[in-house]
Structure 1
């Protein structure tokens, strides 16, 4: 799965692509209905992707994200300090526990 979030002065959004065996590809984009930071948008993309993967009954997943912060926090290399980031991280950790295997890596 590939996830990305984006935020600017006007809008925030997130997108993801899930690939799988037999050339399976699904894409999903969402517009956030609240003002979000780039990091919040990145977490929203990850959470939406996890929800979609769960709905598709995926048991093993590797997530690619360009967010050093999100990847580092989810992998436990850095801690979330801001209240909102703590909430996002807790939600992600709870949801990924349902997967047989979960990896998240940073891509440039």
Structure 2
């Protein structure tokens, strides 16, 4: 299975885009409106966590994760350390989910090669659509709380011991 993800945050809104491609090349595209304050990197992590949760629920075993955020991909792949207090709970959630797969590969691509996920997060955040996407029926889900809260973590008020334990294991 392949997961393409992207997230974006603007002054007033944020969105997450997820593209899941099955082994038989069936493509599912999803948009999520993030109705809570978040940075662009937090929106990127939201998209990744949402996508990984979907693949986990589909009982995927071997996955390819593709995105245009070098920071997020390299942190979760263990190439970069996560030192940001605001990203630590997202890093912990994504790392815990990544451990649920037998094999997981991370691939960075430039934004132009991640255009579908990018446009899906743009749709969710209310920005202008390209002509190619305007003819499609798109369901946009609203998320009122960060995905990390559902996993028992929160920005600012979370269990630091758990976060640092996970970060320490990954870094």
Tell me which residue corresponds to 1:53.
Answer: 55
Name the larger-Rg structure: 2
Higher RCO (CA-CA < 8 Å; seq separation 6+): 2
Q: State the alpha-carbon separation in 1 of the partners of residues 66 and 76 from structure 2.
A: 12
Higher strand share: 1
Question: How do residues 19-38 of structure 1 correspond to structure 2 at under 5 angstroms?
Answer: 19-38=21-40
Q: 1:85 aligns with which of 84, 87, 95?
A: 87
Q: State the alpha-carbon separation in 2 of the partners of residues 67 and 91 from structure 1.
A: 17
**Unmatched 5+ residue regions in structure 1?**
none
> Aligned pair in 2 of structure 1 residues 22, 11: CA closer, same or farther (>3 Å)?
same
TM-score by length of 2: 0.61
Deviation at 1:97, TM superposition (A): 0.9
RMSD: 1.0
Q: 2:106 aligns with which of 92, 95, 104?
A: 104
Equivalenced residues, count = 108
SS in 2 for 1:31: strand
Runs of 4+ in 1 over 4 A off after TM superposition: none
Higher helix share: 2
